[in-house]
Structure 1
Amino acid sequence: MVNLKKLCVGALLATTICGMGALTPSAEAGKIEDVQARGVLLVGSTGDYKPMSYLNKETGKYEGFDVEVAELLAQCLGVKVQYVPTTWKTLQADNMAGKFDIAMCGVTRTFAREQKMNMSHGYLTFGKTILCRKADAKK
């Protein structure tokens, strides 16, 4: 069975990490070398989008798929993760201001975002499906 975590981290690294400097307008904030020198990957998250990234009010910790990917990405870079709270309304402005190195919270690719920011290729596919009884599958 394929290790989904390793697959996603590999895809994310292949599509994002080489262009990480373009993710923020700040020449310093996004460079891999600067992240490694700082020892911290700053990850912007809304913390309100299950199952991607959400702030667990009971534990005070971020959880979800993107959180796991962020942790693995940081591990690959040899750094720790620091989550930077943002909102959907301020996500683009916070990114443009260099408040974090990368945003990971189930961000949808939109034309407006593509005009201002570099975005990785999608690493999860969500889609609608048809549901039928197994007995009728051949119909």
Structure 2
Amino acid sequence: MMKKFTKMFLLTLLSLILLAGCGGEKTTNGNASDSKGDSKSATSTLEKAKEKGVLVVASSNDVPFAYINKDTKKFEGIDAEIMTEIAKRLGIAKVEMKEVKFENLLLELNNKGVDIVADAMYVKPERQKIANFTNIWYTEGEALVVLKDSPIKGLDDLKDKVVGGQKGTAFLEFAQKLQKEGKVKEVKVFNSQSELLLAVNTKKVDAIITDSAVAGYSITNDKTLNLKLVSPYKAEAAGNIGAAVRKSDKDLLEAVNKELDKLKEEGFVLKVLKKYGLNEDNFVPAGK
């Protein structure tokens, strides 16, 4: 009797295990299917951003390129305005900025902490190995800054002039290179951008060589500066600016490029450049 009961008990237990196994298999298959669906949607950053209505952009909070305005709390700057308009045209209502140290921007991108990088990043071969870059947004390099009534029209006019540069920058190195070549009389070194701009504004130097975007933005927003960027001027140490996306995000890359070309053709990009103190020298036509 006990044996019979034991045998029936074991058969019942085995049946329950088998049923549980079948049920578990169904659940697993269902989850696997859902997981595949999630994986598929996750591979498309563009579609995911459209569904959420948010595009997350990485920047080092860099004025005047891509930064959060302390007063308005809004995402502002050259790259910010271009990126926000592109997102809007792609059907993405909101752009959020995630602040990341500049040297870690591409690392954060590839770790999928953000959707795209837009922070005046030069398109360089070593960067192209780890990320795809959009078409050129604009070009940016050094500027020659002088008083508004200065007769200086280019680098050829600096042979008997005193030029200022900011300590620790590539632009100071460029000015010193010109001095060694006999194209500049003297180079004076200043510790900050504000000191540099004040020096030329108060005639301590005849001209300064500095970052074009930063100088343009400062001159546009500080009415005490009686200065201008020499134009036309072809930067000797210019770099091409683009946004970076993950290698796998080809659909996002194509979509951004398409809208970027439209914005260039419509005059939107040039308008933004001028708003922040740049000009036609920094503009790059559509398709490049």
Aligned residue for 1:67? 80
1:7-86 paired onto structure 2 within 5 Å: 28=42, 30-48=44-62, 50-79=63-92, 80-86=94-100
Cα distance in 1 for partners of 2:110, 2:118 equals: 15
Task: State the TM-score, normalizing by the size of structure 1.
Answer: 0.66
Q: 1:132 aligns with which of 143, 153, 166?
A: 153
Per-residue deviation, residues 16-70 of structure 1 (Å, max 9, x unmatched): xxxxxxxxxxx8265322211121111111112x321122233333211111112
Letter aligned with residue 104 of structure 2: T
Q: Is the 8 A contact 1:29 1:101 kept in 2?
A: no
The offset of 1:73, in angstroms, is 1.3
CA distance in 2, matches of 1:30, 1:86: 23
Q: How many residues are paired up?
A: 107
Q: How far off is 1:74 after superposition?
A: 1.6
**Correspondence for 1:92:** 106
CA contact (8 A) 1:29 1:98 kept: no
Deviates more, 1:98-107 or 1:52-61: 52-61
* Contact kept in structure 2, 1:47 and 1:62, CA below 8 Å: no
Q: How far apart are 1:129 and its partner, in Å?
A: 6.8
Following TM superposition, by how much is the alpha carbon of 1:127 offset from its aligned partner in structure 2, in angstroms?
Answer: 4.9
CA gap 1:30/1:118 in 2 versus in 1, 3 angstroms: farther
Shift of 1:104: 0.7
For 1:121 and 1:51, locate their aligned partners in 2 and report how far apart those are by CA, in whole Å.
Answer: 20
Residue 116 of structure 1 aligns to a residue in which SS? coil
The answer to whether the 8 Å contact 2:65/2:119 transfers is yes
Per-residue CA deviation, residues 86-135 of structure 1 (Å, 9 max, x unaligned), is: 111211210110111111111111222111000112121235577529xx
Identity of aligned residues (%): 27
Task: Flag the 1:127–1:31 CA change in 2: closer, same or farther, 3 A.
Answer: same
Which amino acid is the alignment partner of residue 31 of structure 1? T
Change (3 A) 1:29 1:66: farther
Higher relative contact order (CA 8 A, sep 6+): 1
Pair 93,76 (structure 1): closer, same or farther in 2 beyond 3 Å: same
One-letter code aligned to 1:132 = K
Secondary structure of the 2:67 match is: strand
1:118 partner letter = N
Q: Distance in 2 between matches of 1:109 and 1:118?
A: 9
Does the 8 A contact of 1:45 with 1:105 survive in 2?
A: yes
In structure 1, stretches of 5+ residues that fail to align are 1-26, 134-139
- Higher alpha-carbon Rg: 2
Cα–Cα, structure 1 residues 44 and 129, in superposed 2: closer, same or farther, change >3 Å? closer
* Contact 1:43-1:82 at 8 Å conserved across structures: yes
| 2:59–2:98 Cα contact (<8 Å) kept | yes
Which structure dedicates a bigger proportion of its chain to helix?
Answer: 2
